[in-house]
Each structure stands twice: as C-alpha cells, then as structure tokens.
Amino acid sequence: MKNQALKEIISFLAKNKILNQEKLKTAKREISKKYQIPFLRNEEIRNYYLKLVKQGKIKKNPFIESLLVLKKTRTLSGVSVVAVLTKNFPCKNNCLYCPDEEKMPKSYLSNEPAVMRAIRLNFNPFYQVKKRIEVLLYNGHNASKIELIVMGGTFSHLPEKYQYYFIANCFWAANSFDKKTTSRPISLKLDLTEIKTRLKKEQRKNASRTHRIVGLTLETRPDMINLLELIKFRQLGCTRVEIGVQSIFDHVLQLNNRGHSVKTTIKATRLLKDMGFKINYHIMPGLYGSSFKKDLKMFRQLFENENFQPDMLKIYPCVVTRNSGLYKLWKNKKFKPLTNNKLKKLIIEIKKIIPPYVRITRLIRDIPNESIIAGPNIPNLREVLKNKKVRCSCIRCREIGRAKPNFGFKTKPKLDRIDYKASKGREIFLQYVSARDNLIHAFLRLRIPSKIKTVNELQDCAIIRELHSYGTVAPIGKKIPETSQHKGYGKKLIKKAQTIAKKETRLSRLAVIAAEGTKDYYKAQGFRQGTFYMIKKI
C-alpha cells in the first residue's frame, strides 16, 4: 500500500503537478488518506525517489530534491553552514563567566551539540567538514555553497602552525569530497611554509569545485585585532569575524575580568570594517555588574552610536555554569542572573529597535539545560517569541527563504537604500525587498572607509563587504523556482554599488572581500585578483 502511495506522489512531482511546499503537504494528506496509511514523511518520499532514480526508473530531478529537503532551516539563508571546532589550547584570559572544562576548548561544554560532534571526530578538521557535507547531502541539501564557521574560542590564541593546518584541511576536505585526489592530508608535521603552500593550492582549487567555501568565519577577541592579525586572517581566507564584545561598558568589562576596554572594541570594529570584514558581535546581557536597564541602554547604543554598528549579533545571555568564577559569586548570593521573563522582555525591546541592516544570528547559546546552574534557560526562545507576535526588522526575520511559500514573489522586488555612519566611515546598505511585505531577496554592504591605514591595495577603494542572495540554495549556474539566487540581483547590486562609488565619492576603485568559492563569480563581473581582495577600476 505504502509503495503505491509513494509511487503516486512521486509521479505527481515528476509531472510538475506539485510546485511548492503547501501543495506538497495537501498531496501528502490526500494520498495518505486515500491509501489509509499514516501521513507520508518527506524522508520516506525522498528515499523512495532515490531508489527509483538508482534503478533508472525515473530521471534525477533537482527540483523534486529541493522540495523534499529535510531539516530545511539548515540552508534557508541561501548557504549551507558547516561549523567546525578547533581543539583545546590554553586561553590567556580568565573571564568570570567562562566555563573551564578539562580537555574542552575554553568557553565550550562537552555536552553542547556542536562540541559533541567535534569530540566524536577528535577535533579533526578534515573529518568534521567531510561529515557535515555528508549529513547535508543525506538530508537532501545542496552543499555547493558552504559558509565555514570555525568555533572553539579565540582563534588568535592558537599556535600559528595549527591555525594554517586547520584551515588548509577544511579546504582540502571540501575539495576532495567528490573528486578522487592524489594529494595527501595536510599534516602538522610539515613545516609552516609547506602548510601555507598547501593552503594556497587548496584555496585556488576550491574556486571551481563542487563544494565551494563562500564564506569563512573566525572567532576572536577585540584586543587580538590589529593590522597584522587581519592580514593573516585574509591569507587564511576569512571573510567574517566574530568578536567577543560582551559589554560596551568599561566597569562591566572590568568586573567580569575581560581584560580589554570598550576603546579596544571601537578600534577593532573600525579596522575590521575598513578592511572589508563582516562583523558579528557576541553580546552578553545579564553580566555581573549589569542590569536590565543597562542592558537595554547597551543595545540602543550598539545601533545608535556610530562606533559600534555591528552587521550581525549573537546574543548570549549570561548563565552560571559549574566551572566558572561566577559560580562562586552566585553561591555567595553576590550575583543574580537574568530571569527567563526579564530576558524575554529584553529581547522584545531589542527586536523593536533593531535596524534593518543587522542580522540577529542567535538569541541564546546552545547550552544544554542540565549545565545551566542559574540563569535563563529557554532553548526554544525564538519559538516562544514568535507567539508574542513581535515585529522584528532584522535581516534574519525578513529572509525570503523563511517566508511562507510564494510570499514575497507576487510583486517584483524593489531596490531600497539605507545610508548610515559607522566607525568614521560611511556604510551603504542596498537591499532588494518585496514591496508589500518588506521581505529581503538580496542585499549588499558597501563601505566608504575612514581614513586609517590598512593594506596598500585598498587605497582609493570603496569596499563591498557583503553580497548575499536569499532563498533555498540554488546549485551554482542553475535556476529553480522559489529562490532569489541566480536571478541577477547580485549583478544589479554590484552595478549599483559601482555607480554610487563613482558618482558620490572620489574613489577610483571597487574592492570586494571575496571568499575562495566566489572568485569566479566576481571575475565574471570584471574584478581582478589582487593580493587579498578582488579589485575593479570604476
């Protein structure tokens, strides 16, 4: 009976009678009812479809595959996230709230989901990337555009050789995934120069491979950021930096033993932006010495004060874990963490004021409840807030891929422009939004830098810091319905940025911080490879 039902639904799909998720749901309901079987799951349909393809009974159909994707959220923002963890090395700091578990990268707990995956693979970068690609493909995702996120605490604290070894192996894993390769894994026994050469080779290869790294994120502290460090980050292929800002008040930073000041954060932010990096701030409401009022003031400042203006935000509310300095203070009743209700209230207020050019990438950290001794513990915070119907203008809440089927595609998207001052320079945020519901199809961040010295090749350049098209991942070079990728928005946005830079500034060139996997795309738009950036005369 079930096989009959599966055959019927696949034949509907093959004949293009089901074109979106809503129709798929209706068909599943009707067919399950007709054959009196439990509601068909996408996983079952997909497995049956793959079996028929293997037997040569039907042709492979990327559109059917995109409709039957499991765990759809993984690729909703248009790229497939692959998060990997570096192994534990001593951290030079001792922040009050930081958990310190033996053999774990400091600040991580062994029962966090991402950490558990890394432990199983002995923190090996090659196997971590390979495994994630396998899982993505198994679940029906298209893993052709990978956003590689390297976690594990302060990347800048790791030994230099390990840094290059780790990233080189990530590239090697992506490159060798579905191609027989004669090259060997990059061993830590090689000397630094050899590892650097292998990294360069793998980066070059990646530009034309099936699994391209289209973004690379590294985590570090504001006081580790300087020109030399950022040049190294570019050599590694980094395009986005996550920095542990935690608070923008000096007395709170001091009380929590952070070891850096707000001035350092301001300086780091400016240098990062002037070198074209995207910035994701980690912010911790509820820290020792803060209060609800101060936290709210901090978020207002983040969006109003030009010294901050992050592109993305990870909100990690402070919690008490057993192996931290904060635990003692809490036990002695000297520290009271935020309550669940206070946190909800705070997030609602933040959502009301968040500018449309900021993306809230996280609202709470993935710490398992059993490890939280005290403090907010609502792992499904996003869901809880959804029920409160708070309107949030952040990028994530407006991504077209998250909208209901067909939403945002009824009217032609219009180009919208927002200018704002940031770190003594100017930011121009260009976005294609659907006129009726303000859903975002694609956007570009253009920076007119401030006047600090960075690298020579950026002299006289306006910088494209980010270009992103949303929707389900469209395979490179192909068009599928219900996606904004490959509809030409990227090209139009680059053109517009070029016109702005030419007409409104005295700059003569446009630079882009291109990840290895995006270089072919920018070449096709007239950019040429420089040392760390791709550059075009305007």
Which residues make up the interface to ligand SF4 (CB under 6 A)?
91, 93-95, 98, 106-107, 153-154, 221, 244
Stretch of 187-195, 385-393, 455-463, 479-487 lying at the interface with Zn ion (CB under 5 A): 385-393
If DSSP states are collapsed to H, E and C, what string results for 418-471? EEEEECCEEEEEEEEECCCCCCEEEEEEEEECCCCCCCHHHCCEEEEEEEEECE
Q: How far is the CB of 96 from ligand SF4 (least distance, A)?
A: 9
d(CA 425, CA 454): 14
Name the binder of 125 from Zn ion, ligand SF4, none, CB < 5-8 A by kind: none
Asked if 76 touches Zn ion (CB under 5 A), the answer is no
Q: How far is the CB of 391 from Zn ion (least distance, A)?
A: 9
362 and 316 Cβ atoms separated by less than 8 Å: yes
d(CA 269, CA 275): 10
Nearer of residues 6 and 109 to ligand SF4, judged by Cβ = 109
The partner residues of 447 in beta bridges, in order of sequence, read 427, 463
Q: How far is the CB of 156 from ligand SF4 (least distance, A)?
A: 10
Nearer of residues 106 and 359 to ligand SF4, judged by Cβ = 106
Name the binder of 394 from ligand SF4, Zn ion, none, CB < 5-8 A by kind: Zn ion
Nearer of residues 210 and 261 to ligand SF4, judged by Cβ = 261
Nearer of residues 91 and 329 to ligand SF4, judged by Cβ = 91
Interface with Zn ion in residues 94-123 (CB under 5 A): none
Structure tokens of 72? 């759809």
- Count the neighbouring beta carbons within 10 Å of the beta carbon of residue 43: 13
Q: How far is the CB of 242 from Zn ion (least distance, A)?
A: 18
Asked if 397 touches Zn ion (CB under 5 A), the answer is yes
- What DSSP state is assigned to residue 230? H
Nearer of residues 67 and 150 to ligand SF4, judged by Cβ = 150
Q: How far is the CB of 243 from ligand SF4 (least distance, A)?
A: 11
Q: Per-residue string for binding with Zn ion, 124-163, x by CB under 5 A? A: ----------------------------------------
d(CA 71, CA 179): 26
- Count the neighbouring beta carbons within 10 Å of the beta carbon of residue 344: 18
Asked if 167 touches Zn ion (CB under 5 A), the answer is no
Q: How far is the CB of 358 from Zn ion (least distance, A)?
A: 9
Name the binder of 107 from Zn ion, ligand SF4, none, CB < 5-8 A by kind: ligand SF4
Stretch of 173-181, 187-195, 340-348, 384-392 lying at the interface with Zn ion (CB under 5 A): 384-392
Q: Which of 394, 422, 455, 461 binds Zn ion (CB under 5 A)?
A: 394
Q: What is the dihedral of CA 235, 237, 241, 244, to 10 degrees?
A: -70
Q: How far is the CB of 138 from Zn ion (least distance, A)?
A: 30
Q: How far is the CB of 394 from Zn ion (least distance, A)?
A: 3
Nearer of residues 84 and 360 to Zn ion, judged by Cβ = 360
Nearer of residues 385 and 476 to Zn ion, judged by Cβ = 385
CA-based diameter of the chain, in Å?
A: 71
Q: How far is the CB of 102 from ligand SF4 (least distance, A)?
A: 14
Nearest to 465 by CA among 473, 474, 454: 454
Q: ∠ CA 72-75-79 to the nearest 5 degrees? A: 170
Q: How far is the CB of 418 from ligand SF4 (least distance, A)?
A: 33
Interface with Zn ion in residues 516-535 (CB under 5 A): none
Name the binder of 397 from ligand SF4, Zn ion, none, CB < 5-8 A by kind: Zn ion
343 and 378 Cβ atoms separated by less than 8 Å: yes
Nearer of residues 211 and 221 to ligand SF4, judged by Cβ = 221
d(CA 246, CA 253): 8
144 and 211 Cβ atoms separated by less than 8 Å: yes
Structure tokens of 115? 């950490």
Nearer of residues 392 and 473 to Zn ion, judged by Cβ = 392
Concatenate the DSSP letters of all residues of 67-121 into one string: HT-SSGGGGTTSSEEEEEE------S---TT----TTS-TT--TTSHHHHHHHHT
Asked if 392 touches Zn ion (CB under 5 A), the answer is yes
d(CA 95, CA 327): 12
Q: How far is the CB of 378 from ligand SF4 (least distance, A)?
A: 22
Name the binder of 221 from ligand SF4, Zn ion, none, CB < 5-8 A by kind: ligand SF4
496 and 415 Cβ atoms separated by less than 8 Å: yes
If DSSP states are collapsed to H, E and C, what string results for 483-538? ECCCCCHHHHHHHHHHHHHHHHCCCCEEEECCCHHHHHHHHHCCCEECCCCEEEEC
Residue tagged 């502290």 (tokens): 221
Name the binder of 91 from Zn ion, ligand SF4, none, CB < 5-8 A by kind: ligand SF4
Structure tokens of 200? 């360069």
Nearer of residues 69 and 397 to Zn ion, judged by Cβ = 397
* Dihedral sign for Cα atoms in the order 25, 469, 217, 305: negative
Q: How far is the CB of 229 from ligand SF4 (least distance, A)?
A: 15
Q: How far is CA 148 from CA 81, 132, 235, 299, 374, in A?
A: 6, 10, 15, 28, 32
Q: How far is the CB of 297 from ligand SF4 (least distance, A)?
A: 23
Nearer of residues 354 and 428 to Zn ion, judged by Cβ = 354
Nearer of residues 98 and 397 to ligand SF4, judged by Cβ = 98
How many residues bind to Zn ion according to rule CB under 5 A? 5
Helix (H, G, I), strand (E, B) or coil at 286: coil
Asked if 363 touches Zn ion (CB under 5 A), the answer is no
Nearer of residues 79 and 394 to Zn ion, judged by Cβ = 394
Interface with Zn ion in residues 342-361 (CB under 5 A): 360
Please report, as ranges, the residues that interact with Zn ion according to CB under 5 A: 360, 392, 394, 396-397
